Structure 1
Amino acid sequence: MDDLDPVIHAPARLRLVATLAALRRGEEISFPKVQQLLGMTAGNLSTHVRKLEDAGYVDVVKTHSGRKPVTYLSLTVVGRRAFEDYTAALDDLLRGAGA
C-alpha cells in the first residue's frame, strides 16, 4: 500500500483522475461535464481538483464563453505518469507482487 499515491488514492480523486486519463493527451473537459459524469457537487469536485492541481496532476484553465465563465480540466504529463504508476502499483498489489 505504500506505493499507492495518497493524492490519487482517495476514492473521489481516483475517479476524477481516471476520468481525465481517459481523455487523449492535450484534450480537456469542462468542469460541469466532469461534475455530471461523477455525480459530485461543485464544492466537493472543486476541493479534489485543487488537491490534484496543487500536486501538479491537473491543469485548470478558466476562460469565458461569451459572458459566461467556463473552467476546463485536463491531466498534466506529471498527472498522467502518476496515474500510470498508481495503476501499476495497484496491479502489483492485486497480483501479490512484492509480498
Structure 2
Amino acid sequence: MGIIDKLNKDFESRVRLGIMSILIVNEWIDFTEMKTILDITDGNLASHSSALEKAQYIEIKKEFVGKKPKTSYKVTDLGRAAFKEHLNSLEKLMKF
C-alpha cells in the first residue's frame, strides 16, 4: 500500500479538513462559531458534519439553551486517531 492510499477519503474535502482541524484543538465548538470560522453556509456545515458523524469521527450534540436550539460538535477518539493518521500520511508524502 502506497502513502497516497493511506490518506483518508473522509478528509479530502476542505470543509471536512477544516472541521476536524478546529475540533482537534477545541473540546466543544458550536454551530455558529464553526460556520463563522470556516466561512461556509449552514447547509454546507450541516452536510459535512453529518458525514463525519456517520463515520463516527465527530459527536453532534443538540440541545436547547433557553428557548433557542444549540448544536455543538466534538471530535471522538476514533476521529482524533483517524485524523492524526491522515496528517501523518500527508507529512510522509510531503517528504518525497
- TM surpasses 0.5: yes
Report what 1:8 is aligned to: 11
Report what 1:34 is aligned to: 34
Separation (CA, whole Å) in 2 of partners of 1:54 and 1:10: 15
Aligned-residue offset at 1:45: 0.5
Separation (CA, whole Å) in 1 of partners of 2:46 and 2:12: 17
Report what 2:55 is aligned to: 55
Percent of pairs with identical residues: 32
Report what 2:73 is aligned to: 73
Counterpart code for 2:88: A
Runs (5+) with no aligned partner, structure 2:
none
Instruction: Name the SS for the 1:2 alignment partner.
Output: helix
Q: RMSD of the alignment, in Å?
A: 0.7
Aligned-residue offset at 1:32: 0.6
Count of aligned positions: 93
Report what 1:21 is aligned to: 24
**CA deviation string 1:22-57 (max 9, x = no partner):** 11xxx2010110000000100001000011000000
Counterpart code for 2:13: A
